[in-house]
């Protein structure tokens, strides 16, 4: 749906011990909401991943890291279809045509400053004192991206709170999106899942 891309935050789903591992299903929930115009919450995404993959998320254990293949099954469970792009231009055109992209990134590599969440800033502040190498390495993460014909490219990082100034995705450039998708060091389209509305 055109307009602002609404964040689906993983932060309300932090587990015992501070485990925060639901970025994948939260990003799929964001993507499915965009393409279907329905209200799909992060909790809906988490439940869908469990149904679709048969992999329960154990409380307080970092065990819900997602692969794009698992997220493709999650998107299907939530009523959308998905596919892998043939190349980067395929991903770009799909988004321009109304699809959303779920991207496996190495956060915060390639992020412009406006796409850094308050959670991330606090994370970086904490680890810069305790272990600067952790900050330099970043972390594996999933995000959602959409393109509106008026607003342009938008990045919904699930570490955004989903409230206040972090209610909506950050407005970014196409070059930003490419840089973020290339953060793991390989061809950017290899880290992308295209989420689309099912054909009628």
Strand 80-83 and strand 100-107: the pairing is unpaired
Three-state secondary-structure class, residue 197: strand
DSSP secondary structure code for residue 13 in this structure: G
**Residue 18: pLDDT band by 50, 70, 90 thresholds?**
confident
Domain boundary assignment for the chain: 11-197
pLDDT at 166 over 90: yes
pLDDT tens digit sequence for 64-86: 789 999 999 999 999 999 999 99
Q: Is the pLDDT of residue 174 over 90?
A: yes
CATH class of 11-197: alpha beta
Residue 1 pLDDT greater than 70, yes or no: no
Q: Which residues contact 187 (CB under 8 A, 6 or more apart)?
A: 88
What confidence score (pLDDT) does residue 2 get?
66
Task: Give the model's confidence band at 3: pLDDT under 50 very low, under 70 low, under 90 confident, else very high.
Answer: confident
Section 110-134 average pLDDT: 96
pLDDT at 63 over 80: no
Predicted local distance difference test score (pLDDT) of residue 105: 97
**199: pLDDT strictly greater than 80:** no
Residue whose pair of structure tokens reads 């190349």 in the numeric block: 87
pLDDT for 198 equals 85
With beta carbons less than 8 A apart as the criterion, state whether 29 and 40 touch: yes
Average predicted confidence (pLDDT) for the chain: 94
pLDDT of residue 11: 96
pLDDT at 45: 96
- The first and second tokens of residue 173, run together, are 């450039």
pLDDT tens for residues 82-105? Answer: 999 999 999 999 999 999 999 999
Q: Is 46 a residue whose pLDDT tops 70?
A: yes
Helical H segments across 78-147, by residue range: 88-96, 118-130, 132-137
């Amino acid at each position: 749906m055109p307009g602002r891309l609404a964040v689906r935050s993983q932060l309300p789903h932090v587990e015992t011990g501070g485990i925060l591992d639901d970025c994948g299903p939260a990003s799929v929930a964001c993507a499915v909401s965009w393409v279907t115009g329905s209200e799909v919450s992060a909790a809906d995404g988490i439940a869908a991943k469990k149904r679709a993959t048969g992999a329960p998320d154990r409380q307080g254990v970092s065990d819900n890291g997602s692969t794009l293949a698992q997220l493709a099954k999650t998107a299907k469970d939530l009523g959308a279809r998905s596919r892998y792009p043939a190349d980067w231009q395929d991903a770009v055109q799909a988004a321009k045509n109304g699809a959303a992209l779920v991207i496996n990134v190495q956060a915060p590599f390639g992020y412009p400053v406006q796409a850094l969440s308050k959670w991330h800033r606090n994370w970086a502040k904490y680890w810069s004192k305790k272990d600067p190498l952790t900050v330099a390495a970043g972390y594996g993460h999933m995000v959602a991206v959409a393109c509106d014909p008026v607003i342009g490219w938008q990045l919904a990082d699930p570490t955004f709170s989903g409230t206040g100034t972090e209610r909506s995705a950050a407005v970014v450039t196409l070059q930003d999106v490419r840089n973020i998708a290339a953060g793991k060091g390989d061809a950017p389209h290899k880290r992308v899942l295209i989420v689309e509305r099912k054909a009628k």
